[in-house]
Structure 1
Amino acid sequence: MHFTPMLYISLYFLALSFKDVICFFDPVSLTVGVGVGLGALTGFGVLKDQTYCRLTECCNERSIPGDVYKLKVMIQKRLFGQHIVKQQLISALEAHFNPRSSSRKPLVMSFHGTPGTGKNFVADMIAEALYEKGIKSRFVHKYTGRLDFPLQKIVGSYNERIYNDVVTGITDCPRSLFIFDEVDKMPAGVFESLASLVDYNALPNKLDGSKAIFIFLSNLAGVQISDQLAKMLKNGELRENIKLSSFERILQKASYNLEGGFKKAGLIEQHVIDHFIPFLPLEKQHVHQCISAEFNKWDRRPQEQVIEDMLKKVITYDREHGLFSTAGCKTIEKKVATEVWIEKRLT
């Protein structure tokens, strides 16, 4: 059938009228015996896809393409110095979106590292690749420690909020994404209600949470990651050859014992977190790559001296090892933008 603009509008309001029926009835579970033909309900589904879901976000493949290959390309072009992240993250997401997956629990990942190593950057790229509307999707739920969960004395209320938000979110769309930033700034005990929810078949009302994704972002264990990496580099190991196994136990132990939202957390005790992923501290060469990439976004190819001059302004090396940039690439975007506008004013 060919749909004209006016027909779209008319069918949209018709589909809107039947939205609740379309969203909550499963044609496979119904029979003609209850007065509704399977063909009719299937027709409603097609009608919804062609009208309502063309004009608003729905929990379907159009709104949630789950494009892991797109994410792989984005990370390859825009993330530097994080070979472990590239290897583990893409494999984890490919397995999660595999239609043959038999997992009974959601995908749960915890990102750790010092500021400026790319944790938030990668989390936003995940949302951008998996959801048509990216981080603005109503199926992407993002929380920030200091803003959403700042006080220890009302941790019980935070637990209730997280429980209700997760149940509501997964009810709305099983392919929901939950991002918790600044876990190290959250009070201990904040995730206790979540531990049971994301465990095997623990959601209420027979909800299926196996398609959801939970990502935790934290500066926890950043110092331990730096110490371990420095030790290995000084022993002659090549950075690109270092494996995840050199960090996993360190991350798990530090998360459980250090102050923050993971301290003595059931999420760790119950082994609910599938992947502890380290974001390695950045060296000078990686910050150089960040600067070049930012200039490329402005269609600029500066001379090497311009980049070297900027490196001198933005890099402060860690006192302990003298190898790693303390801020990583955190301020590069604004620094390059300022440099470009100065150049424009002078031309």
Structure 2
Amino acid sequence: MGLPIFAIGTVAAMLWAALHIQGTTRFVPEACANVASFLPAHVVGQDLAISQLVDAVCEHLASDSDGSSSSSSSSSRAQAPRKPLIISVHGPPGVGKTFTHTLLARALYNKDPAAAVDCPGEQCKGAKVLYGLNYLEGDRAGQLGQVRSAVLDHLRSAPNPLLVVEEYDKLDCDSRGLLRQLVRHPELANSSMSRAIVLLESNLGFLELEAMLTAAGGDKSQITPEAAESRLREVVLSAWRRPPACEALEDTLAFGAAVDFFLPFFPLTRPEITALMEMELRSRYGSRLEAAGGFLRPEPAALTWLVDRVDFAGGSYPIEGAKQVSTVCVKHVSRLVRKAQEELKAARSRGAAAHGHGQAHGQGHKDKGSGQQQHLHLQHHVGSVVVAAEYVLSVAPSGRELQLLPVEED
């Protein structure tokens, strides 16, 4: 006898939960492949950092699956149990550090990272982000205790945690002590952190990275991972030794040694801002037009016009990174796209009404084509109004603004 309908529904719900909900605290089997494809496809201008991040994460995950951490491991591995993967990420604001850790969480905890829109959130419960550890002077000890409890509870409850600490270079002495203890002695969390990934993010070192990039003539491919890591490690250790010194020199050096990778997020260049601007136009505004039945085609001159509105402060790099890409588009493109959406919506309404009217009064005029052909024709011409599926974004004749015009039929 078959299962009752309600039982089948329950089984289906349990299977869905096993495939999706549990993955929000455990890295999915496809995690390495996800990271290797998802991050490079979405992060612009940071090839050096992303390639190292992909390799580091995949190697970290592989060490559990290839038996290197099993009971049959060598005696040296048994004496030195695996530690969390700890990565220090550096660069100026707006160059992709936060974006990258968000993409990483989506790739680690979801079979389809592109569909994981609630992340951080329900679809990435294993990820926790600390946005700086600054406290009110009156209750510093109490707040630090709360943060410590929250971090430890998360590490114990998530089998495969991803912990992100933003602006970690600005930690006060107490917070730094908490972080140092966690990094150097993860066993104190009273849980297995062998698969944990810890990202320490900071703006520290961005001037040094800019100087390296300028010395390389703006060619990031000329900068080696070793050169960037050496410079960043030096900057971090020097910063942590400035007064007030919270720890002995050996503790600072031991903390630096616990960090596996120092990843450089360089300033963005003008060609990279141009690429980001094109991605913004196609993903945000192009998708809106497509939903209304249209297609957005930006002309190269329009892209150049938009990039010229980004503040480079007279230098080679934008002072706010990619932040202005979205705001420039809001100022100069969003209204044009809304107007085009309204035109397409009105055209569809008039076309549908005309099509219905034609059906009501007979469909015997074969010389004018079928009803379907008439409907397609009305998507382009509605009376004297021309509405095209393709809209071209170009610079207006005045040069002071953009225009979004439909492509008329011949």
Q: Structures share a fold, TM > 0.5?
A: yes
Change (3 A) 1:70 1:233: same
Q: Counterpart of 1:86 in structure 2: which amino acid?
A: I
Q: Counterpart of 1:295 in structure 2: which amino acid?
A: L
Give how far 1:229 is off. 2.0
Structure 1 stretch displaced more, 72-81 or 193-202: 193-202
Q: Is the 8 Å Cα contact of residues 155 and 187 (structure 1) preserved in structure 2?
A: no
Aligned residue for 2:299? 303
Give how far 1:182 is off. 2.4
Query: 1: distance between equivalents of 2:4 and 2:20?
Result: 14
Deviations 1:188-216 (A, max 9, x none): 441312323333562344x2111111111
Q: Is the 8 Å Cα contact of residues 23 and 109 (structure 2) preserved in structure 1?
A: no
Alignment partner of 1:247 is 2:211: no
SS at match of 2:94: coil
Q: Is the 8 Å Cα contact of residues 46 and 266 (structure 2) preserved in structure 1?
A: yes
Q: Counterpart of 2:188 in structure 1: which amino acid?
A: L
Alignment partner of 1:230 is 2:208: no
Query: 1: distance between equivalents of 2:230 and 2:188?
Result: 29
Alignment partner of 1:194 is 2:179: yes
Structure 1 stretch displaced more, 93-102 or 189-198: 189-198
Aligned residue for 2:88? 110
Change (3 A) 1:230 1:54: closer
Q: Is the 8 Å Cα contact of residues 179 and 215 (structure 1) preserved in structure 2?
A: yes
SS at match of 1:178: strand
- Count of equivalent residues: 301
Q: Counterpart of 1:84 in structure 2: which amino acid?
A: L
Equivalent residue for 1:335, pick from 328, 331, 337: 328
Give how far 1:53 is off. 4.2
**Structure 2: runs of 5 or more not aligned:** 70-80, 111-115, 287-295, 341-410
Q: Counterpart of 1:129 in structure 2: which amino acid?
A: A
Higher relative contact order (CA 8 A, sep 6+): 1
Query: 2: distance between equivalents of 1:204 and 1:2?
Result: 48
Equivalent residue for 1:93, pick from 41, 54, 57: 57
Aligned residue for 1:83? 47
In the TM superposition, what are the counterparts of 1:1-347 in structure 2 within 5 Å?
Answer: 6-7=6-7, 50=15, 53=18, 56-57=21-22, 64-65=28-29, 67-98=31-62, 99-100=65-66, 101-102=68-69, 104-132=82-110, 134-136=119-121, 137-145=124-132, 148-151=133-136, 156-157=141-142, 159-199=144-184, 202-205=187-190, 207-233=191-217, 238-258=219-239, 266=251, 269-270=254-255, 271-297=257-283, 298-299=285-286, 300-317=296-313, 322-347=315-340
Change (3 A) 1:3 1:335: farther
SS at match of 1:256: helix
Query: 1: distance between equivalents of 2:265 and 2:222?
Result: 15
**Structure 1: runs of 5 or more not aligned:** 13-47
Q: Counterpart of 2:182 in structure 1: which amino acid?
A: L
Q: TM-score, normalised by structure 1?
A: 0.75
Q: Counterpart of 1:314 in structure 2: which amino acid?
A: V
Give how far 1:244 is off. 1.3
Query: 1: distance between equivalents of 2:325 and 2:4?
Result: 47
Give how far 1:312 is off. 1.3
Structure 1 stretch displaced more, 225-234 or 331-340: 331-340
Deviations 1:57-90 (A, max 9, x none): 46665x7455232233232222222121122000
Change (3 A) 1:296 1:242: same
Structure 1 stretch displaced more, 102-111 or 187-196: 187-196
Structure 1 stretch displaced more, 218-227 or 178-187: 178-187
Structure 1 stretch displaced more, 213-222 or 77-86: 77-86
Give how far 1:135 is off. 1.4
Change (3 A) 1:275 1:313: same
Quick one: percent identity of the two aligned structures? Answer: 21
SS at match of 1:214: strand
Q: Counterpart of 1:125 in structure 2: which amino acid?
A: L
Give how far 1:323 is off. 2.1
Query: 2: distance between equivalents of 1:53 and 1:97?
Result: 20
Query: 1: distance between equivalents of 2:207 and 2:139?
Result: 29
Q: Counterpart of 1:7 in structure 2: which amino acid?
A: A
Give how far 1:119 is off. 0.4
Structure 1 stretch displaced more, 117-126 or 176-185: 176-185
Q: Is the 8 Å Cα contact of residues 135 and 143 (structure 2) preserved in structure 1?
A: no
SS at match of 1:108: strand
SS at match of 2:317: coil
Query: 2: distance between equivalents of 1:221 and 1:96?
Result: 26
